[in-house]
Amino acid sequence: MTSHAGSTALISQLVEHPQVYWDRGPDAVGTFEPMNQPKFRAKSGNVTAGIEWIREYFTMVLEKGKMPGFKLGILPVLKYPEEFKKIIDEFDTKIIFNYRRDHLKRAIGRYAYHYLGDKTSIGGINTNSEEGLHALEDRCSTGVGCSYEITNMANLHCIMTRSWKAHQYKVDGIKMISDGCVLEEPYEDYLKYPTDVYHQSLDFLGLERVDTSAAREKGTSDKICEVVENFAELCAAFAECPAWNESLRNREDGCSCDDYKYTSMGGPGVNPICETWPPEGYEKWCFGICEACPETLTLRERAGRRWPWIPESKETWETYRKEQGLDR
């Protein structure tokens, strides 16, 4: 699963199913994404301890006659694909690949978190908490509110390109470890047909169709012209970009740049933020991420030739994918 793609909402439904085990006791993991705990994170170098925990956890749950499962980001998989492949094979594990088709919309939601300090929409609004219920009742007075201005399109583009690149990482990571038993469930489908997608998940997992409720609600409107106060400027930056403009000419939700007046920044080859790859020098403003900094170089060195985590360039990444046969 991936962040800001409805994955928390979906898994909050799945763990309520009577045939699924979710540890709520005093020694509970306490998170839908256990491998994201500091002691297991890829950056800490303790992924192998996390893999051993997965093996013990799966064994314990299966002995109870239940089905185990959790959210998993792609970084641990990219660092230790062979070990995760063993888990997949040993426990006949099925993968639900949850992601966003629309990287522009995802980036707009993440912009409030990265640049405006608003965590309200991250993971959705938790309807099991008092704070979450308040946010749900009066979203417009919580955090940055129902709408906000995007003051720096380059910063937004940073999130867009990182989202796009991360999606490619996920696709490649799944190829590395999967035997083909993968169910793709785009966020857009879950948003539009939540019950159908939930039932599809149950059928895929071999579970009875028992309806449960998600413990998360959407924190941001899906109509980006309602969320982005300076929508015309968004059109100017991206409406002529084939990689990004699909959601900017969406008649279905009433948000189309055709209805706005703006002076376009141009298309590919003219507009520096039109591509799916960041322009040269983007590390200077990409929310603190510097690809030439010691920390990033250390991460890349740790990963070795298994995966060039954050590649030095688009060419490096594409060369690696060809070497591994991932471009097929």
Residue with tokens 């522009």: 104
End-to-end CA distance of the chain: 22
Q: Which residues contact 231 (CB under 8 A, 6 or more apart)?
A: 224, 225, 255, 257, 260
Tens of pLDDT along 170-198?
888 898 898 888 999 999 999 899 999 99
pLDDT band per the 50, 70, 90 thresholds, residue 297: low
Tens of pLDDT along 47-104?
788 889 899 999 999 999 999 998 888 888 888 889 999 999 999 999 999 998 999 9
The per-residue pLDDT for 305 is 43
Give the pLDDT mean for 254-266. 94
Whether pLDDT at 11 is above 50: yes
CB contact at 8 A, 238 and 274: yes
The per-residue pLDDT for 31 is 74
Give the pLDDT mean for 247-253. 82
Q: Is residue 281 part of a domain?
A: no
The per-residue pLDDT for 308 is 42
Whether pLDDT at 318 is above 50: yes
- Indicate which CATH number applies to the domain containing 158: 3.40.50
Q: Is residue 16 part of a domain?
A: yes
Q: Is residue 38 part of a domain?
A: yes
Q: Is residue 267 part of a domain?
A: no
Please, what sign has the CA dihedral across residues 197, 185, 226, 8? positive
Q: Which amino acid is at 308?
A: P
Name the nearest CA neighbour of 279 among 319, 234, 225, 237. Answer: 237
Q: Is residue 328 part of a domain?
A: no
Range of the domain at 208: 7-223
Which residues in 57-78 are b (16+ Cβ under 10 Å) and which e? bbeebeeeeebbbbbbbbbbbb
Higher pLDDT, 130 or 221: 221
Q: Is residue 318 part of a domain?
A: no
pTM of the model: 0.79
CB contact at 8 A, 120 and 219: yes
Q: Is residue 294 part of a domain?
A: no
Q: How far apart are CA 140 and CA 221, in angstroms?
A: 11
Q: How many domains does the chain fold into?
A: 1
Whether pLDDT at 122 is above 80: no
Whether pLDDT at 157 is above 80: yes
Give the pLDDT mean for 132-144. 60
The per-residue pLDDT for 38 is 72
Q: How far is CA 199 from the centre of its chain?
A: 22
Higher pLDDT, 43 or 212: 212
Q: Is residue 113 part of a domain?
A: yes
Higher pLDDT, 43 or 114: 114
Computed over every residue of the chain, the mean pLDDT equals: 80
Q: Which residues contact 177 (CB under 8 A, 6 or more apart)?
A: 77, 81, 84, 85, 88
pLDDT band per the 50, 70, 90 thresholds, residue 29: low
Percent of the chain with pLDDT over 90: 38
The per-residue pLDDT for 66 is 96
pLDDT band per the 50, 70, 90 thresholds, residue 168: confident
The per-residue pLDDT for 186 is 94
pLDDT band per the 50, 70, 90 thresholds, residue 271: very high
